[in-house]
Amino acid sequence: MDGQMADDSELGNLIGRELSTAVVMFHEAVGKRLGLSATERKLLDVLGRLGPSTAGELAANTGLTTGAITGVVDRLARAGYARREPNPRDRRSVIVTRLPHPAGERLGAEVFASLGEAITDLSGQYQPEELAAIASYLVGLTSILREQAARLQETEPAARPAVR
């Protein structure tokens, strides 16, 4: 393998690792402002995009198990961010609905407006064809992350060391 190929591969890996770390840490910070974990915060985001959903639909859209979804929804409901209602199409399941929440509304204006402005400013530095290449890379990277998360969920987790 020539030096340039190795450098490009290393750069791609570094970009992917740094981007995924920054995204996780951003959502941890946002969640903390709401008194939520990053997972709880992102489930709210998914609910906002999907609308009222069953645990199965949420599991399919997040990669979490339905059991994990139940735990997250329990915490969101206790905190006033979501509610469960009987599913009119299936008595065995419930529909989870995102609720308006004052803290979430404040945070939207405080955090996501400035984030949107910063992204717009960054995007303005690139020509349309450059943005198309960046978008293609990020869409591909997102797809890879989803595929790898699904692969990890299909396999047995490594044994956890005993906690003392």
Per-residue pLDDT of 106-158, as tens digits, reads 877 788 888 999 999 999 999 999 999 999 998 998 888 888 887 887 776 66
Question: Greater confidence, 92 or 164?
Answer: 92
At 155 the three-state DSSP class reads: coil
Select 9-100's CATH number: 2.40.10.120, 3.40.50.300, 1.10.10.10, 3.40.50.150. Answer: 1.10.10.10
What is the residue extent of each domain of the chain?
Answer: 9-100
pLDDT band at 1 (very low <50, low <70, confident <90, very high): very low
Query: For residue 51, which phi and psi values (nearest 5 degrees)?
Result: 85, -175
Amino acid identity at 51: G
Tokens describing residue 149: 């998360």
Query: Does the pLDDT of residue 76 top 70, yes or no?
Result: yes
Q: Is residue 33 a contact partner of residue 107, using CB atoms and an 8 Å limit?
A: yes
Amino acid identity at 134: I
Query: Does the pLDDT of residue 35 top 50, yes or no?
Result: yes
Mean pLDDT for the stretch of residues 46-72: 92
Report helix angle 38-50 to 3-34, nearest 10. Answer: 90
**Calpha distance 39→161 (Å, rounded):** 24
Query: For residue 157, which phi and psi values (nearest 5 degrees)?
Result: -70, 155
Between 7-16, 33-42, 114-123, 134-143, the lowest mean confidence (pLDDT) is in 7-16
Amino acid identity at 48: G
Mean pLDDT for the stretch of residues 85-91: 90
Query: Does the pLDDT of residue 4 top 60, yes or no?
Result: no
Q: Which residues, listed in sequence order, are joined to residue 97 by a DSSP beta bridge?
A: 83
Query: Does the pLDDT of residue 104 top 70, yes or no?
Result: yes
Query: For residue 114, which phi and psi values (nearest 5 degrees)?
Result: -70, -35
**This prediction's pTM:** 0.71
